[in-house]
Amino acid sequence: MKRDRSEQLYTEALELFPGGVNSPVRAFRSVGGTPLFFTRGEGALLHDVDGNTFIDLCLSWGPLILGHAHPAVVEAITKRVALGTTFGAPTEEENKLGRLIVDHIPFVDRVRFVSSGTEAVQSAIRLARGATKRDLLLKFDGCYHGHVDSLLVNAGSGLATFGTSSSAGVPEELAKLTLVVPLNDMDALETVFREHGAQLAGAIIEPIPANNGLLLQERTFLQRLRELCTAHSTVLILDEVISGFRVGFRGSFDIYGITPDLVTYGKIIGGGMPVGAYGGRLDLMKQVAPEGPVYQAGTLSGNPVAMAAGLAQLTECLKPGFYEALEAKTATLCATVNTHAKAKGYAYHLDHIGSIFWGFFADADHIRRADAIESASMKTYAKLHAALLERGVYAAPSGYEVGFLSSAHTDAQVQQVALAMCEALDEVM
C-alpha cells in the first residue's frame, strides 16, 4: 500500500505537534507504521492523500452514524454556514435541537450544550458536587470519560480503592477524590457504598463501556448501581458519549432501562461537529448558572452550525427501522467472522451491541472487565490492523478501541469487511 504522501506529511507534522498529532491514538503507536492522512470521506468510504480508499470502521470514533458527508447533514451545514458560523448568542437552532432531545429522552428535563464530550463530563461532575455539597467521585476501572483531571485515575490494589493519577500533571490530592472499583464486580460496588456512600457526590459510568474494549455489563450490576445511588443520594451520571443515540435513540436506556440523574453526550448529537451536552433531572439542572450557583460557560456552546448538523442527523435516526437495520448489519458481520474463527479454531471473537463491535483474542463470548484483556494480544492486533489496511479496511489504530457501522455501509460492503477480516485472521493467527 502506498504511503509516500502520508509519510511526508507526518514528517512535517512531527515538527509542528507533540508526537505529530493532535490526539494521541492517531499516531499509530499501538499498531506501528505511519499514520494515514485523509482527504475526504463519502458514505462508508475514506480516501487518503496517497489515493488509497478504505471502508471505514472507525467513523471518527463513532459519531458518523449516517456515514461521511450524508446529504442531509451537508445541506444543513452549508445553509447555516452561509448565514454565519458563530455569534456567541442564542439561536433558533439551539431550541430546535434541545427540544428534540428533551422530547425524546425521558430522563432529560433540561439540557446544556457544550463543545465536547470531555467538557460535558467535566460539567456534570461539577454539578454533582455542587448539588450534593460532597467531594468524592466514584468511577469504574476500564471506563474512559475524556481527559478530565478528576477522572484520569487508575485503580489501586483493593476492591474499592482511592485513585492514583494516570497522567503527569494531575495532582495526587485531586486523584484521591476519585474512588475506583472494577466493572461488573458486585462485591466491590457494595463495599464502596457501604464505606463511602455518605461522601459520594456522584458515580459515573459508561453503561456500555466502549473506550477500553467493549466491556458489556450485566443488567443486574447497573440496576444495583442505580439502587445504591438512590439510597445514598449520590448522583448517577451515565456517560453516553459513545453509546448515546448510537445503540438506540435513547442510548443504553433502550437496552438496560436504567434511568440516570445526569447523562453526557458527544459529537453524535452534532453530526460529527465539535459538540457535547449534559442533561438530566430538573432539580439538578436548575443548579446550573445562570439559574443556579454551579458555573459553566462557553463561547461556542450551542454553536449554530453544530446544532443544524445535529438536528439533521438525529432526524434521520428517528426514521422507522433505522436502528434495527443498523444492528442487523452489525450482527451479520460479527456472526460471519465468528463462524470462521470457530471453524478454524482461532481464539478470537467479535462481540457487539447495536452497531458497536469489538474483536478480542480469547475463547469467550464477552469480556466484562478491563483486567481480563490480555495485553499481549495487542501485538497480534497490530498485525491484524496492517492486514486489514492492505485489504482496504480502516479499523481503529488500537486494539482497545471499538468499531462502528453506519447506515451508509451497504450489505456488499459489510460482506467485503467480513471477508477481509477472515482473510486477515488466517494471515496472523
A 10 A CB-CB count for 244 gives 29
Among 71-85, 146-160, 228-242, the minimum mean pLDDT is found in 146-160
> CB–CB of 262/280 below 8 Å?
yes
Q: If you ran DSSP here, which 8-state letter would residue 68 be given?
A: B
pLDDT at site 162: 56
Side-chain-side CA neighbours of residue 398 (13 Å): 16
pLDDT at site 152: 81
Looking up cell 467472522 gives 337
Asked, as a colleague might, if the bond just before 63 is cis with ω within 30 of 0, I would say no
Residues in Cβ contact with 335 at an 8 Å cutoff, skipping those fewer than 6 apart: none
A 10 A CB-CB count for 133 gives 7
Give the span between the Cα atoms of 364 and 170, in whole angstroms: 36
pLDDT at site 425: 99
Percentage of the chain lying above the pLDDT 90 cut: 90
Domains in the chain (CATH in brackets) are 4-69+320-428 (3.90.1150.10), 71-317 (3.40.640.10)
pLDDT at site 174: 84
Residue 154, pLDDT > 80, answer no
Residue 141, pLDDT > 60, answer yes
Q: Is 304 in a helix, a strand, or coil?
A: helix
Give the span between the Cα atoms of 95 and 91, in whole angstroms: 7
pLDDT at site 153: 78
Strands (E), 178-322: 178-182, 200-205, 235-239, 262-265, 276-280
How large is the average pLDDT for residues 270-281? Answer: 97
Give the span between the Cα atoms of 391 and 417, in whole angstroms: 9
**Cell numbers standing for residue 75:** 445541506
pLDDT at site 53: 99
How large is the average pLDDT for residues 245-264? Answer: 98
pLDDT at site 161: 46
The DSSP secondary structure of 191-203, one letter per residue, reads HHHHHHGGGEEEE
Looking up cell 430522563 gives 107
Q: If you ran DSSP here, which 8-state letter would residue 144 be given?
A: -
Q: Residues of 324-344 as b/e, b for ≥16 C-beta within 10 angstroms? A: eebbebbeebbebbbebbeee
Strands (E), 135-182: 136-141, 153-154, 161-162, 164-165, 178-182
Residue 219, pLDDT > 80, answer yes
Residue 292, pLDDT > 90, answer yes
**Cell numbers standing for residue 153:** 485515575
User: What mean pLDDT is reported for the chain?
Assistant: 95
Q: What are residue 140's DSSP bridge partners? A: 181
Q: Is 112 in a helix, a strand, or coil?
A: strand
The model carries a pTM of: 0.95
How large is the average pLDDT for residues 212-222? Answer: 96
Give, rounded to a whole angstrom, the gap between the first and last alpha carbons of the chain: 22
How large is the average pLDDT for residues 376-393? Answer: 97
- Chain center to CA of 230: 26
How large is the average pLDDT for residues 321-335? Answer: 98
Among 99-108, 151-160, 302-311, 401-410, the minimum mean pLDDT is found in 151-160
How large is the average pLDDT for residues 58-71? Answer: 98
> CB–CB of 385/395 below 8 Å?
yes
- Chain center to CA of 156: 25
Residue 313, pLDDT > 60, answer yes
> CB–CB of 374/361 below 8 Å?
yes
**Cell numbers standing for residue 199:** 461522601
Residue 159, pLDDT > 50, answer no
Which residues are marked as active site?
144, 239, 267
